Structures are given as structure tokens and as C-alpha cells.
Copies of this chain bind each other. A is one copy, B any other.
Amino acid sequence: MKTIIPSDISALQLQQVMQTAIAPRPIALASTINAKGEVNLSPFSFFNMFSTVPPVVIISPSTRVRDNTTKHTLENLKEVPELVIGNVNFEIVQQVSLASTEYEKGVNEFIKSGLTMRPAELVKPPLIAESPVNFECKVMEIKSLGNLGGAGNLVIAEIFKIHINEKYLDEAGNLNQKKLDLVARLGSNFYSRNNESNIFEVPKPLVTKGIGYERLPEPIRKSDVFTGNDLGMLANIEILPTGSFSSEKEVHLLAQNYLKNNEIENAWKVLKSD
């Protein structure tokens, strides 16, 4: 184990460690406006949803680690506490990256990035036509977390209207996760795509309560074949089958193959030795 005390390393090093370990982060493309009516567009990966009722999101326009300067988004939100957040998919990632350029105050990054403004209905800043989903938000609170370069500024905002591009809906009218192909930020210059190539399913253990790892029969728990993930899947069964269990390597490999296909019942069936 390598141990780090945050105050012992530089802010840039700390940022690098945190941004690599706390990833992938969803991207908010934030559209804001100042009192003069000048529009700003900028991406933020210090972003997430934190509540459904009421629907609340947070972005954090931090001061820059480099020189402790403030982002125009934060200045705008202090003047006009409303914003539109668009999500970001692979189709627009290069334009979104261009919008993160530090242009002078007053420069409209919609124009610079070639993304399209559309009037919002409840708030002053414009919608982003190319974002698959737009959220019209009003600021509940801005909370500064410090004074030094790299200090976050929590912008806690409530969602009042959601716009969805119908292109990303399935036949039942629900958002199609894989078709969205959302991109996320990781450390350094890394982004990730999220589509059918890397999305997988883990059924939620909400209805049933799995027996748990510690109640797995010893021949299974101590097997050299099974990984932690395999044992996690087996331990999610609600009632342990009665009888005794095989400790044969070949049987365990067979069960493991069932687990690869999410066939937990079949895995348990072959594991029974009587």
C-alpha cells in the first residue's frame, strides 16, 4: 500500500490522484448567462445527481489549481442564478472539449464550439440543441469550500424541466442507455465511451436477501477456481440448497461457466454433489 497525506503533495499531484481514482465522472455542459446577457458554455466533471425528490444536481466550478482564478460560469451564476445542464455523448465530445477553452470573458462558447443555442422555457440561459438531454435548473445555494487554488464551489441546483431528444428514446418512450453513448471524464486527458461495448448488467439484490459470503459451503468458499465476483454471485442466492457440495475442480470450472452467463441457478445445480 502506498499512503499519501493530501497536504504533503502539490495540488496538481493531488488533483491527478483524485481524478484518476474517482472516475469515470459524468459531464455537465453548463449554459449560463450574466447580467449583461452574455452567454457562457463550459463542461464540468465535478458533477452528479444527489436527490430525486426534489431533483437536485451539483456542479463545482473550482478555482484553478494553477493560478486560483475563477471560472466565468461561477461569476455568471452569482449574477443570474439559473443554468441549463446538457449531458454529453460521443457525437459532441470534441466540440465540448473546445468549449472548455479559456476564452476571454464575454466570449460565447456556443459560437466557438459550433453548438446550437435554443431558448429555454423557465430559465434565461439557452438549451444546448445537440445534448441528448437538457435540464433547466435554478440555483438553491452556492457554497465555497476554500480560498486557495483548487477550492471547489458547490453549485446546488434544482431541476424544473427536462428536455429529451426523441432520437434516444426506445419504443416504450424510455431513454435508451446504450444508444445514448454518454462520455465521461477520468484522470489526465482520458475520457470513456459508454455504450454496448462496455455496459453490462448486475441484477439488483433488492427483492431477495442473499445468504451472504460467510454462509457459502466451505468447499465452494475455499475453492481455488472461484473469483470474488463468482462467490459474490453465488452468495446472492436466497436459500442455500440442501445436501452436500462438490470440491472437484472440474465441477467448479463448469459452475464458473454458468456464472459467466449469469446462470446462477444452474451453477448451484452442478455444484450439488448428491
Binding site for B on A (CB under 8 A): 1-6, 11, 14-26, 46-58, 60, 62, 65, 87, 90-98, 100-103, 111-115, 121, 130, 132-133, 135, 145-146, 148-152, 154, 156, 159-166, 169, 173-175, 177, 180, 182, 184, 186-195, 197-206, 209-210, 212-214, 221, 227-233, 235-236
**CB pair A24 B26 closer than 8 Å:** yes
**CB pair A132 B21 closer than 8 Å:** yes
A215 to chain B, nearest CB (A): 9
**CB pair A190 B197 closer than 8 Å:** no
**CB pair B56 A50 closer than 8 Å:** no
Give chain A's interface secondary structure class: mixed
A186-B178 Cα distance, complex, nearest whole Å:
10
Contacts of A151 in B (CB 8 A): 51-54
A86 to chain B, nearest CB (A): 10
A194 to chain B, nearest CB (A): 5
A189-B202 Cα distance, complex, nearest whole Å:
6
Contact status of A98 and B56, CB under 8 A, knowing A114-B231, A169-B2: no
**CB pair A55 B6 closer than 8 Å:** yes
Contacts of A163 in B (CB 8 A): 1-4
